[in-house]
Structure 1
Amino acid sequence: MAFLSDERKEEFVEEYLPYIKKYFWVILIGLVAGIYFFFSWWNSWWYIENFPSHGTDVIAFGDSLVVGVGSTPGNDFVSLLAYRFNTPIINAGVSGDTTAQALNRLHNLGIFQSPKVVIVLLGGNDYLQRIPKQETFNNLSTIVKEIQAHGAAVLLLGVRGGVITDVYDEEFRNLAKRLHAAFVPNVLDGLLGNSDLMSDGIHPNDKGYKIIADKVTPVLKKLLRE
């Protein structure tokens, strides 16, 4: 515009102003949406400890949701992820594990020889057993730190802590940020209470586990990038 004559500037304004007015709201909405999605992405992808990892093994560590209770063989979310990425994923899930039990079990596992990425999904049994929130997240913090000490990048999956209000969501997010773990919030969001997606009150069915795999896939894809 700095190189246009005054006459050409007027012609330019007359030619394009109607289009600008006509599509103003479309442009504005698109701009706002772009900013929103950018910061949403940025908020869930901060600096990740041990990324990229030099390990070789992908491990899923957690409770019955990792085991895949409620699914048919091969349709738990861990198996679905292994199939999608064409890579073995060691399933180190134990049904009923609280964070304290998982922490004790972590010390005795012999699978952390060359971990690349460890998916951690715990906390649901703590909530069901009314274990104090602070104890739950202290245990989770220790679990994440110990896994990171083996050189692995951690992918923390959140679960809901409450029926009406979720007392876990902010705690999970803050923990992931503080310890530099990748994070997927509340993997059961949209599943709980939906009989078409759940096999019982707390475990998904095949459809539900596929949704969990869909939520985890884009973040895990980044972590597996060389």
Structure 2
Amino acid sequence: MRRDRLRRCAGALLAVLFVCTAAPAGAAVKQVARGTAAAPAAHTAPQTAAAAVIRWQPYPGAVRYAVRILRVQGGETTVLAEMNRVYTTGLHLPQGAYAPLESAVWSVQPLDYHGAPLDAWSAPQPVPVGLHEPDAPVLTAQFDEMAYAPLYPVYSWIPRAGDRQHEVAVYRRTGGDDVYLHTLEAGEYDVYDDMPFTTPGQYVYRVRSVTAEGRPHSDWSAEGTFRVVAPTPVAALGDSITHGGGAITLPPSYLLYDWESYCTVPVKNLGHSGDTTADMLARFERDVLPFAPRVLIIMGGVNDYRSGIYGAESVRNLTALREKCRAHDIIPVFLTAPPIRPALMAARMDIMAPPADWWEHRDYINSWIMQQAYSIDIATVLSDANGELEAAYTTDGLHPDLMGKKYIGETVDAYLRAHFAYAAGEAARRAYRARHTGE
């Protein structure tokens, strides 16, 4: 269920350079002085001249972007370059490529899956010069804007021109030291961390490009940070639809396609892309209990029924989750398993075709869910007249995009406020303290 490699979106036309914050958790033994880039690799890249970096916000529904670099002189505009397969929310412009940059401007246009424009070209913006951007990837994760850091972070960045491989070094910050945790091998734009961050504290990560042999090929990026806090009164357990991301290329490190972004009650994201209900059940003690939620939102089953797992088996797993919640004084709130659109899945993603009777198993799961003490039907609104995921709500046939995620988040928000006002209020207070005091 993770959106592997058609990558990174961008759009809505406002260039802002910023230093990103994000990071991971865990345990390990290597002490690194704060502010250094020391970590896994034995070689360090030379400090080279900075590039100009242009950035924009992701545009709803954009799978990729077209970018123009132009020069305006004497009332005439010359197109220096046009790129129409940009899968990030920004670009590095190498020094010398479009010199002098002082007279260069740029414009971006969001494109759909087929490369058709979703909007007009943005108003030209000056290429930022003289800001001394490091010769390194530029981080894009929006962890600092989330109510809580996700349990399974996804790190994302704008690569330098031509860089295809990267490594991400992750640390836990303790006092004046950064304790090295692990290094992730990454592709061009992002990487999913499969380590759950359950220990409270601040985490740090840095990214750099590497050669095919693993040698450093750029400087380390600025550090990204995120903080893990516990307890979290409301949490959400699920698969990639809970984890986040959408329109094929935008990862869960952005807010746009995370349904939790549209729920005003702060919700800890315990989603893990690709999970079946059996996977969710297996990680309950490890991933849920450290956060001691009062209310647990549970949405799963789509990866079961689309892969041939019988609805009865899914219901057994969901029943076991319910009993685990009860044993730990957690109130489970079940969301119906959303529909899929098999034709789009086959046409646009490398996803195996579901069995012909997938809808019977989905309906079996959802019938059980709607008989529970606390349940929310989100599947009906997301379905078309044939019971498939509404075409307007999805790019890949499997994951709801903006309208679908917004509907889920707002529906969960209204339900929590109507049925669990105390927990909702406690969640808001806890998230506020975490954001403003670090507690």
Which interval holds the TM-score relative to the shorter structure? 0.5 to 0.7
Q: Deviations over 1:7-64 (max 9, x none)?
A: xxxxxxxxxxxxxxxxxxxxxxxxxxxxxxxxxxxxxxxxxxxxxxxx8611000000
- Alpha carbons 1:63, 1:97 under 8 Å: kept: yes
What code does the residue aligned with 2:239 have?
D
The alpha carbon displacement at 1:126 in A equals 0.3
CA distance in 1, matches of 2:321, 2:370: 12
Paired residue for 2:285, among 107, 113, 116?
Answer: 107
The structure with the largest helix share of the pair is 1
Q: How does 1:1-226 map to 2 (within 5 A)?
A: 57-70=233-246, 73-75=254-256, 76-81=258-263, 84-85=264-265, 88-109=266-287, 111-160=289-338, 165-169=359-363, 171-177=365-371, 179-186=372-379, 189-190=382-383, 192-226=388-422
- Alpha carbons 1:62, 1:121 under 8 Å: kept: yes
TM-score (norm 1): 0.63
Look up the match of 1:20.
none
CA distance in 1, matches of 2:262, 2:279: 26
The alpha carbon displacement at 1:119 in A equals 0.4
Secondary structure of the 2:398 match is coil
Q: Deviations over 1:86-133 (max 9, x none)?
A: xx3111000000111111111322544531111001000001110121
What code does the residue aligned with 1:57 have?
P
- Alpha carbons 1:77, 1:213 under 8 Å: kept: yes
Q: What is the root-mean-square deviation of aligned Cα atoms in Å?
A: 2.7
Stretches of structure 2 lacking an aligned partner (at least 5 in a row): 1-230, 342-356, 423-439
Per the alignment, do residues 156 and 187 of structure 1 end up closer, same or farther by CA in structure 2, a change over 3 Å counting? Answer: farther
Stretches of structure 1 lacking an aligned partner (at least 5 in a row): 1-54
CA distance in 2, matches of 1:222, 1:193: 27
Per the alignment, do residues 94 and 206 of structure 1 end up closer, same or farther by CA in structure 2, a change over 3 Å counting? Answer: same
Per the alignment, do residues 67 and 171 of structure 1 end up closer, same or farther by CA in structure 2, a change over 3 Å counting? Answer: closer
The alpha carbon displacement at 1:137 in A equals 0.6
Per the alignment, do residues 66 and 105 of structure 1 end up closer, same or farther by CA in structure 2, a change over 3 Å counting? Answer: same
Q: Deviations over 1:142-165 (max 9, x none)?
A: 012112222122110001468785
What code does the residue aligned with 2:237 have?
F
- Alpha carbons 1:172, 1:185 under 8 Å: kept: no
Per the alignment, do residues 132 and 146 of structure 1 end up closer, same or farther by CA in structure 2, a change over 3 Å counting? Answer: same
- Alpha carbons 1:62, 1:122 under 8 Å: kept: yes
- Alpha carbons 1:74, 1:80 under 8 Å: kept: no
CA distance in 1, matches of 2:287, 2:323: 15
CA distance in 2, matches of 1:119, 1:173: 17
CA distance in 2, matches of 1:188, 1:101: 27
The alpha carbon displacement at 1:212 in A equals 1.7
User: Quick one: percent identity of the two aligned structures?
Assistant: 27
- Bigger mean CA offset, 117-126 vs 167-176: 167-176
Per the alignment, do residues 56 and 212 of structure 1 end up closer, same or farther by CA in structure 2, a change over 3 Å counting? Answer: closer
- Alpha carbons 1:127, 1:161 under 8 Å: kept: no
The alpha carbon displacement at 1:175 in A equals 4.3
What is the count of residue pairs matched by the alignment? Answer: 167
The structure with the largest strand share of the pair is 2
